[in-house]
Amino acid sequence: MVAAARKRVQDTVNNYGFMQLNKSFVSADDVAKRAGVSRSAVSRTFTPGASVSEETRQRVMEAAQALGYHVNQLARGLMRSESGIVCLVVSEMDTPYRARLVRALTHELQTAGKIAMLINTDRSDGSVDTALRQTLHYRADASILLSGLPDKAITRLCLNSGQRIVLINRDDDIEGPFRINLDDGQAARVAVSAFLRAGCRHLAFANSDVGTPSLMARERGFIAAAAEFGLEVRVVRHGNTVYESGRKIAQTLFTEAVQPDAVFCVNDLMAFGLMDGARYDFGLNIPEDLCIVGFDDIEQSSWTSYNLTTFSQPVDEIVKSSVAWLQSDATAGRVRPANLHAPLIWRKTIRNKL
Amino acid sequence: MVAAARKRVQDTVNNYGFMQLNKSFVSADDVAKRAGVSRSAVSRTFTPGASVSEETRQRVMEAAQALGYHVNQLARGLMRSESGIVCLVVSEMDTPYRARLVRALTHELQTAGKIAMLINTDRSDGSVDTALRQTLHYRADASILLSGLPDKAITRLCLNSGQRIVLINRDDDIEGPFRINLDDGQAARVAVSAFLRAGCRHLAFANSDVGTPSLMARERGFIAAAAEFGLEVRVVRHGNTVYESGRKIAQTLFTEAVQPDAVFCVNDLMAFGLMDGARYDFGLNIPEDLCIVGFDDIEQSSWTSYNLTTFSQPVDEIVKSSVAWLQSDATAGRVRPANLHAPLIWRKTIRNKL
DNA sequence: GAAACTTTTGCACGCGCTTGCAAAAAAGCG
DNA sequence: CGCTTTTTTGCAAGCGCGTGCAAAAGTTTC
Contact B93 A99 (CB under 8 A): yes
Whether residue B334 is predicted with pLDDT greater than 80 in this model: the reply is no
Terminal alpha carbon distance of chain B: 76
- A78, A119, A123 ranked by CB distance to B74: nearest: A78
End-to-end CA distance of chain A: 76
Of B24, B275, B303, nearest to A162 by CB-CB distance is B24
Give distance CA B55 / C1' D7 (Å): 13
pLDDT the model gives residue A14: 34
Question: Is pLDDT larger for residue B158 or for residue B192?
Answer: B192
The tens digit of pLDDT for each residue in A139-176 reads: 999 999 998 777 777 888 888 888 899 999 887 777 88
What is the Cα–Cα distance from B164 to B162, expressed in whole angstroms?
Answer: 7
Among B7, B114, B120, B129, most A C-beta atoms within 10 A, so best to mutate, is: B120
Other beta carbons within 10 Å of B331: 10
What's at B20, amino acid-wise? Q
| Cis before A337 (ω within 30) | no
Which numeric CATH code is attached to A82-182+316-339? 3.40.50.2300
B78 touches strand D (CB under 7 A): yes
Is the Cβ–Cβ distance between B82 and A2 less than 8 Å?
A: yes
Integer CA distances (angstroms), B74 to A69, A140, A289, B79, B109, in order:
19, 10, 60, 9, 18
Q: Which residues of B touch A299 (CB under 8 A)?
A: 94, 243
Lowest mean pLDDT among B12-21, B59-68, B238-247: B12-21
Cβ–Cβ gap B22/A160 under 8 Å:
yes
Using omega within 30 degrees of 0 as the cis cutoff, is the peptide bond preceding B287 cis? yes
Return the axis-axis angle of helices B73-80 and A2-15, rounded to nearest 10°.
40
Indicate if CB(B49) is under 7 A from strand D: no
Angle at the Cα of B63 (from B57 to B64), degrees rounded to 5? Answer: 85
Specify burial of residue A230 (Cβ count, 10 A radius: 0-12, 13-18, 19+).
Answer: exposed
How near does any CA of chain B get to the CA of A289, in Å? Answer: 18
* Long-range pairs, A45-52, Cβ under 8 A, ≥24: A46/A71
Task: Specify the pLDDT at position B18.
Answer: 33
Q: Residue B103 and residue A93: Cβ atoms within 8 Å? A: yes
State the pLDDT at residue B21: 37
User: In whole angstroms, what is the distance from residue B258 CA to residue A342 CA?
Assistant: 47
Interface test with A, best of B13, B82, B132, B138 (most A CBs within 10 A): B138
Domain extents in chain B: 84-182+316-340, 184-314
Q: Which residue has the higher pLDDT, A48 or B24?
A: A48
Read off the pLDDT band of B158 (50, 70, 90): confident
Taking the C1' atom of every nucleotide in all shown strands and the CA of A40, the nearest one is C10
Contact between A115 and B117 using a beta-carbon 8 Å cutoff: yes
Distances (CA, A) of A321 to A199, A259, B203, B229, B246: 38, 42, 50, 59, 35
Confidence at residue B147, expressed as pLDDT on a 0 to 100 scale? 83
- Mean pLDDT calculated for residue range B305-309: 97
Hey, which residues does A170 pair with through a beta bridge?
A: none
Beta-strand pair B142-145/B85-90: parallel
Closest chain B residue by Cα to residue A82: B2
Whether B202 contacts B246, CB under 8 Å: no
Q: What is the pLDDT of residue B126?
A: 61
List, as one string, the DSSP characters of B115-157: EEEEEE--STTTHHHHHHHHHHHTT-SEEEESSS---HHHHHH
Summarised one tens digit per residue, pLDDT across range B79-130 is 988 899 999 999 999 999 999 999 999 999 999 999 999 999 987 666 777 7
pLDDT value at B271 more than 50:
yes
User: pLDDT tens digits for B128-153?
Assistant: 777 888 889 999 999 999 987 777 77
Question: What is the pLDDT, as a whole number, of residue B172?
Answer: 72
Asked if A160 and A104 touch (Cβ cutoff 8 Å), the reply is no
**What CATH number belongs to A2-71?**
1.10.260.40
* Among candidate residues A122, A118, A172, the one with its CA nearest the CA of residue A144: A118
State the fold for domain B84-182+316-340. Answer: Rossmann fold (3.40.50)
Of the partner residues A22, A161, A243, the one whose CB lies closest to the CB of residue B24: A161
- Are A73 and B107 inside 8 Å of each other by CB? no
User: Rounded to an integer, what distance in angstroms lies between the CA atom of residue A244 and that of residue A270?
Assistant: 7
Across the A/B interface, how many CB contacts are shorter than 8 Å? 177
The yes-or-no answer to whether B84-182+316-340 and B184-314 have a common fold is: yes
Please say whether the beta carbons of A122 and B102 come within 8 A: no
Q: Name residue A128's amino acid.
A: V
CA distance A269 to A99: 14
Radius of gyration for chain B, computed over Cα atoms and rounded to the nearest angstrom: 27
Give how far B187 is from chain A: nearest CA, Å.
25
For residue A273, which of A291, A289, A253, A250 has the smallest C-alpha distance?
Answer: A250
Count, residues in chain A? 354
Distance CA A14, CA A65 (A): 19
Residue with the bigger pLDDT between B58 and A6: it is B58
Is B38 near strand D, with its CB below 7 A from some atom of it? yes
Q: Which chain B residues contact residue A80 at CB under 8 A?
A: 2-3
Nucleotide nearest to A76 (CA to C1'): D17
- How deeply is A354 buried, as exposed, middle or buried, from its count of CB atoms within 10 A (0-12, 13-18, 19+)? exposed
Q: Provide the CATH number for the domain formed by A184-314 in this structure.
A: 3.40.50.2300
Q: Are B89 and B143 in contact (CB under 8 A)?
A: yes
Give me the phi and psi of B178, to 5 degrees please: -90, 125
Please tell me whether any atom of strand D lies within 7 Å of the Cβ of A72. yes
Break chain B down into helix, strand, coil percent, rounded to 5: 45, 15, 40
Q: Concatenate the DSSP letters of all residues of A266-306 into one string.
A: SSHHHHHHHHHIIIIIH---TTTT-EEEEEE--GGGGSTTT
Tell me whether residues A81 and B117 touch, CB distance under 8 A: no
Q: Is the dihedral of CA B62, B64, B67, B68 positive or negative?
A: negative
B286 pLDDT more than 90: yes
| Distance set, CA A178 to CA A114, A166, A322, A326, B101 (Å) | 18, 5, 8, 9, 30
CB contact under 8 A, A100 and B94: yes
Query: Which parts of chain A sit beneath pLDDT 50?
Result: 1-22
Say if the Cβ atoms of B73 and A139 lie within 8 Å.
yes
CA(B305)–C1'(D7) in Å? Answer: 69
Residues 6+ apart with CB under 8 A from B26: B20, B67, B68, B69
Q: What is the pLDDT of residue B353?
A: 66
What pLDDT shows up at residue A256?
94
Task: Find all residues with CB under 8 Å of A284, minimum gap 6, and list them.
Answer: A254, A278, A290
What's the pLDDT score for residue A195? 97
C1' nearest to CA of A52: which nucleotide?
Answer: C8
Residue B288 phi/psi, 5-degree rounding, is -60, -50
